[in-house]
Structure 1
């Protein structure tokens, strides 16, 4: 009997266990608004606390993927997510919940919840009607319109997007009331507002009009009198960056732009994501802007083959180049630092034109370019990238991003490249690019417990070893320079970095935080250019402490903090040694005022430079939204920097120019610091063409130098002269850019740039050399739809049109070694075709400079490299003809 009972109990147990373990798990994807890693952590935690088995939020796709069993309501989960401050497709956060989020988490509130129906949705009663709106102002407007149309009472619920009406059918009707509500700007289930009426609403009331609703009456009347039908059931599909909402017969598709202009920022800030970087052979940071119209990329000389960036008509040194918001490419790294950030390591780039925030330092004059490394993954992910071109360059990248637990995650980054072939496309006997190798490795460790303890931290370490050899073909770096007749260039660089960023969000005060950033950098370069030696060592320690809070409410935010910078330089050029220590403590404050249609950011910092004296740096950014589609911006600010005349002008060392410094009583090479003011204005206009979003941005910036270290190449072709500006130096930059999509998956970017850059040299005002006045830009990108395996094709092409440039004066040279006053105009065409076979394998093939335009006489007196007239720094165009490459990406 006992055995029989035991068997029954065991059978019941097994059946119960089978039921428990075979419960149906369903996976759903929902639209949820968020901005950053803090948002991701908050959304996922809220979902899990509400009963989700798993929750994974994608910042790029703005989607939350939930795995739940049949006993859990996804509505309850999404309601908890909304209560945490994040609007989603079913529930909207209250204004109080949204405003309580940290400033970095304030997303654009353009997503409206869909009406909640059926067994998991709100059951709409006979006197309830769907009406779109956003805030308390909307509520007042809707209820007043309903009463004006004869309703005895009206109550609008923002969360459910429903108005409850009580009225006498003998005096009015629901149609009459809803039409009146549409007349004041609010779409509803029977009537749609006129576009002009909608656009005249305050910006806080501009709800999302993309997904109409109306299940009670599926026919919604538009202003033209036509109707369309739909239902509210939806499915979400991914289409290589596109997001589709399918609504029974109607498919509405939106896509996240590869490069987007941040509409929330007071400054002109472009966000560049990985999708943009994959459009070209993005082997390092210098090649990350091939498809970007704002930044100009050019070769700096014909011997070392390095590339430099220019922005707003001025050299790279006037742009603050940061990594993880920490100082990166500056000082001794100026010449070759762009090669030290591999393209496959980059998660995103933020590009700011004009004056940037004072919290990031004093050196930014023309803008800031910040690079964020890979460190975000929902599950362990390892990628392998292999690249090779047809001229002997090869590289490999391995990245691994993996969560350790719910608080810790880590990233391993490994890069190696080598150039082994002798490339001499113009047959001048000199290598068009150096041969050599680079080994680059980094480790990142992240801790995120902002929701519970309010603490987050990021740690990183990076080591680089780069060795390059260039010059005449046949040069042997192992043989001493004075023992061989060939001209050679050798550059060996070792670089080590370690950094930490730690932040704390005060409990009960999500708008208040404290952050502390620290970084140590060691950089050493040993190099020679023919018979000239240049070596340098730099040690840098940087620290930045930032406190952020509000004054009364989140419309009034402020930041305040202190920074410290130490630079120790030890340089040797020929037999001359230059040593200096720069010690710069500083303090700053910044105030942000946010109104319904405007944002004002005003900041200032004071820095106590031991060699340059006390420097005051004010900056101002202002944004005004005429409408959500028309945005005007103004900026003004001051910046200063100390010039590293040797490190920043190494492109001219590959010549026989003698270096002359005309000292002016300063403490840095006998020169004073560089100081400049930058002013700018831009207009952003969005509109629809071909039924799709289109954006035109026009901007103008002017930079006026109060003091500048002039690099004078005109005094004599045999001299490189440095001295402080005596009178005026300015740069005017105008750019207009149009982004539009003629049809699905086809993106077009057109741009035109005009530069007027002039300076008063010792012998008069002249245009600054190597700067084209006119530039044109065309980028075309097309992708096919995904197949069942997730595979698709991508086609990208970029055309750069470069106008004539003034060249340095060489009139005193013998006639055969003289350059024209202006260069030729030319065009460069790049193209790439890639094939994603599925989500894990991608292959690509491409070509650079397909027009094969190259500078035929890139080196002056190339046959006599040790003669008086030899000069490899007079480069204004590519020095290589068309180059083809292939690559493979594999994700594990």
Structure 2
């Protein structure tokens, strides 16, 4: 399906659904009013969200915790009151024409997110405790505690996730989930798969933390309903929704490498957020802006960077319009403009430096979504999302004028979804979720020509890749719920086609059926058992590694797919025990999850030998005997009061091929068998917070192809050290008025400078010989000013 057809289908569907419930202005003016006071103990809760269940009617409490709503539907209505850090409350009221009701909403603290609402489990909002699939959520508070400027650093604080840097020159990074590398995880933006392989090369460091409301993570095959590349799981970025009139701006400056033998460099950023809503809360808009400038960092003073320079400006907005009482249109847009450069001689043009890896990104991403509530609890949704990436690049060494490149990529997704609640199906009430989707991309990558003055020759552009990919999917899932059991079973069908437009390349297509089964069993009031099975696949398309080139003075590494490369499939199993309880003011949760993923025809690399120009081809092939990943995730969260919260997680795993691969080794490279995190927040007084964080990374196998070896092209396999990266952040905040606050903060990341010490040096270095924490000791300071929301 072409994007234009998808857009037309979306608007046609919106009109049809809208027509089911036309707006009647006279009918809506009921003069039925609701007043309320939102508190927790003796404290009022400012800016709590208040909605009428089964409608799109909503409002927010003011700075004193009070709210009012007018012209509400008549009859019995359920009022839903929610606020970050508190359990959601539902109250039933009976509304009558020209009469008012006042309610007192007493919210219970939820310091560790036991009752948080999530949407990623089955594409429908519900409490985390009611989902048969485990969903972990990373909220803005955690991003603040760890001083995460972009999405990348915050992902280290979710069980089973680990961020890593893969290139000494430019900072190509990826997230590993349950031991599987980045392309095994599906990155979603507001539940839509428009985060392309090209955007994914540096994407997790491109997205600013201030545009994110929360990140929801599903590990394992339970995420197969989201389509391809969801073998390890999904990471769903949910952008900020306008709730009330508010604004916030912050300025932070960091000194990377401070207090050590390095020459510290500056990493400066400014964030702006604002939201605006009309008095009737039918229309709202949120905006955000972000600017970051980081200087290149040289850890071993050899003149070549270990962390690239970054100059990033991002702007975006979300707009919504409520349609009658039960419809809503949402529009999202953001633009990312980033330059990054690594190597040496930054003051010179790219082709005059000894090594330079540089990219200039222009990314435009937009989405249109329509939701219509039908009957009592049914919901129809239609959406279309697009992302365009324009990238200029230079990956070259020794003043190579032919290393300039240009890449264009357009990714789109569109679909329809319907959620139907049934009073009784087979053996209990059920909710059926079904939908159709189409997605695709068009990617063109070319090497730019140049003029050789010595030879008086003009070299033309060379097409490197010209690929189109389309995918048509359909899914259906039913979830049955009883007092003790929640059981869901689903099936997804995908037909993909990869069209290679370069001469002598063959098209690839396939049909995939992905089943999914999940079970939640409430063993006791506070003890839950979950289990799931799901199948997934990866199509043999261009991946993010293929769009990044490792460059040095001695060799250049390119990634290619074998012409006979087949799709990769997986069978994923998980089982967990989750205990959560409250005792007095204490809240605590312990989760132990076992996972096992079997990979069929897994992708593996065959290392080529350098040609006369030093170019090495890494060819992606299917390993003959498969691979498996297995392990345990442990999550412990505890809070004795609102003054102290502890979150922690630890992973023990084993990832290996069934037959020996490179270097005669079965184990996956760059994958530690143990890793984990902790985050603690202490509030000794209402105006002062202390955040303590830590990340542990165990030993791992890292290939090395550098000049220290007698035969660098053969390489050797090394075992890294283990690392423990600790940090502290201090925050002092005070009110300027009832509606305005100021926050002063400062802290240190990686206090003990637990950082790689054997970076390769010089022009012939191996730039991919990188492991351990993302950055050295870093000291930072910041100021934030904004409304209380």
Q: TM-score per shorter chain, which class? A: 0.7 to 0.9
Partner of 1:496: 364
Instruction: Give 1:601's match in structure 2, choosing from 468, 482, 488.
Output: 488
**Alignment-derived partner of residue 672 in structure 2:** 772
Preserved contact between residue 332 and residue 648 of structure 1 (Cα < 8 Å): no
Report deviation, 1:730. Answer: 1.4
Q: What is the aligned counterpart of 1:737 among 632, 635, 658?
A: 635
Bigger Cα displacement from structure 2, 585-594 vs 401-410 = 401-410
Pick closer, same or farther for the CA change 1:624–1:565 going to 2, 3 Å.
Answer: same
1:143-154 equivalent positions in 2, closer than 5 A: none
Looking at structure 2, the residues matched to 82 and 310 of structure 1 have their Cα atoms a distance apart, in angstroms, of: 51
Closer/same/farther in 2, CA of residues 495 and 750 from structure 1, 3 Å limit: closer
1:652 Cα offset (Å): 5.4
Pairs within 5 Å for 1:375-386: 375-378=241-244, 380-386=245-251
Task: Classify the secondary structure of the residue corresponding to 1:840.
Answer: strand
1:432–1:880: 8 Å Cα contact kept in structure 2?
Answer: no
Cα deviation, residue 713, structure 1: 5.7
* Residues 586, 607 of structure 1: 8 Å contact kept: yes
How do residues 10-409 of structure 1 correspond to structure 2 at under 5 angstroms?
Answer: 28-29=37-38, 40-42=50-52, 56=60, 65-66=66-67, 83-86=76-79, 255=111, 257=113, 262-357=128-223, 359-378=225-244, 380-390=245-255, 391-406=265-280, 407-409=282-284
Native 8 Å contact 1:469 1:489 kept in 2: yes
Match of 1:784, SS? Answer: strand
* Residue 673 of structure 1 pairs with residue 567 of structure 2: yes
Q: Any residues of structure 2 matched to 1:789-868 within 5 Å, and which?
A: 792-808=687-703, 810=705, 814-815=709-710, 821-838=718-735, 840-859=741-760, 862-865=761-764
Please point out which of 530, 549, 571 is paired with 2:420. 549
Maintained 8 Å contact 1:725/1:761: no
Whether the aligned pair in 2 keeps the contact of 1:266 and 1:622 (CA below 8 Å) is: yes
C-alpha distance in 1 between matches for 2:68 and 2:329: 29
Pair 1:585-2:472 in alignment:
yes
**Residue pair 2:293, 2:309 contacting (<8 A) in 1 also:** yes
**875 and 480 in structure 1: CA distance in 2 versus 1, 3 angstrom threshold:** closer
Question: What residue is the counterpart of 1:222 in the other structure?
Answer: none
Q: Which residue of 1 aligns with 2:768?
A: 873
Matches within 5 A, 1:750-789: 750-759=648-657, 760=659, 762=661, 766-786=666-686
- Give the TM-score normalised by structure 1: 0.69
Return closer, same or farther for 1:880/1:234 CA change in 2, 3 Å cut-off: closer
* RMSD (CA atoms): 3.8
Check the 8 A contact 1:88/1:113 in 2, yes or no: no
Give the whole-Å Cα distance in 2 for the aligned partners of 1:307 and 1:829.
21
1:46-85 Cα deviation digits (max 9, x unpaired): 999xxxxxx6359xx9x973359xxx9xxxx9xx999313
Per-residue CA distance 1:783-827 (angstroms, 9 max, x = gap): 1342xxxxx111111122221101226599725966663111121
In the TM superposition, what is the alpha-carbon distance from 1:109 to its structure 2 partner? 9.0
Asked whether the equivalents of residues 446 and 459 of structure 1 are also in contact (C-alpha less than 8 Å), the reply is yes
Shift of the alpha carbon at 1:86?
4.0
Deviations 1:439-487 (A, max 9, x none): 21112210123xx442111011222211112101x2345x351xx3521
1:775: Cα distance to partner? 1.9
Task: Flag the structure with higher helix content.
Answer: 1
Q: d(CA) in 1 for partners of 2:158 and 2:782?
A: 21
Q: Which residue of 2 aligns with 1:512?
A: 378
Residues 501, 743 of structure 1: alpha-carbon distance in 2 compared, 3 angstrom cutoff: closer
Deviation of the 1:269 alpha carbon: 0.6
Q: Distance in 2 between matches of 1:82 and 1:285?
A: 45
Q: What SS does the aligned partner of 1:565 have?
A: strand
SS of the equivalent of 2:681 reads strand
SS in 1 for 2:718: coil
- The 1:762–1:690 alpha-carbon spacing in structure 2 relative to 1, beyond 3 Å, is same
1:524-535 correspondence runs (5 A): 524-530=390-396, 531=400, 532-535=403-406
Q: Point out where structure 1 has 5 or more consecutive residues left out of the alignment.
A: 1-24, 49-54, 90-106, 115-232, 237-242, 245-252, 666-670, 787-791
Cα–Cα, structure 1 residues 529 and 689, in superposed 2: closer, same or farther, change >3 Å?
farther
Query: What is the Cα deviation at residue 294 of structure 1?
Result: 3.5
The 3-state SS of whatever aligns with 1:431 is: coil
User: C-alpha separation between the residues in 2 aligned to 1:680 and 1:796?
Assistant: 32
2:777 aligned to which of 870, 875, 882: 882
Secondary structure of 1:289's partner? helix
Instruction: Return closer, same or farther for 1:254/1:273 CA change in 2, 3 Å cut-off.
Output: closer
Cα distance in 1 for residues equivalent to 2:363 and 2:165: 23
Q: Distance in 2 between matches of 1:290 and 1:112?
A: 38
- The answer for unaligned runs of 5 or more in structure 2 is 1-33, 42-46, 94-102, 117-126, 256-264, 449-461, 498-507
In the alignment, is the contact (CA less than 8 A) between 1:358 and 1:588 conserved in 2? no
Once the two structures are TM-superposed, the CA of residue 254 in structure 1 deviates from its matched residue by: 5.5
1:540 aligns to 2:411 (yes or no):
yes
Report Cα offsets for 1:192-220 as digits up to 9, x if no partner.
xxxxxxxxxxxxxxxxxxxxxxxxxxxxx
Partner residue, 1:130: none
Q: Hey, what does 1:427 align to over in structure 2?
A: 301
User: Could you say if the C-alpha distance between residues 113 and 546 of structure 1 is closer, same or farther in structure 2, counting changes exceeding 3 Å?
Assistant: closer
On the 8 A contact 2:321/2:330 being kept in 1, the answer is yes
The number of equivalent residue pairs is 674
Distance 1:299 1:752 in 2: 20
| Structure 1 residues 541 and 110: CA distance shift in structure 2, 3 A | closer
Deviations 1:91-127 (A, max 9, x none): xxxxxxxxxxxxxxxx99987999xxxxxxxxxxxxx
- Aligned partner of 2:511 among 614, 633, 640: 614
Name the CA shift for 1:488/1:259 in 2 (closer, same or farther; >3 Å): farther
Q: Partners of 2:115 and 2:720 in 1: how far apart?
A: 32
CA contact (8 A) 1:347 1:373 kept: yes
Q: TM-score, normalised by structure 2?
A: 0.78
3-state SS of paired residue (1:276): helix
- Preserved CA contact (<8 Å) 1:612 1:672: no
What displacement does 1:340 show? 3.0
Aligned equivalents of 1:747, 1:109: Cα separation in 2: 19
Query: For residues 88 and 525 of structure 2, what CA distance do their matches in structure 1 show?
Result: 12
Residue deviations 1:665-695, cap 9 Å, x none? 2xxxxx2223222111111012457861211
Q: What are the equivalent positions in structure 2 for 1:712-751 lying under 5 Å apart?
A: 712=606, 720-742=618-640, 745-751=643-649
CA distance in 2, matches of 1:820, 1:566: 38
Q: How does 1:618-629 map to 2 (within 5 A)?
A: 618-629=515-526
Cα distance, 1:533 vs structure 2 = 4.4
Deviation at 1:516, TM superposition (A): 0.4
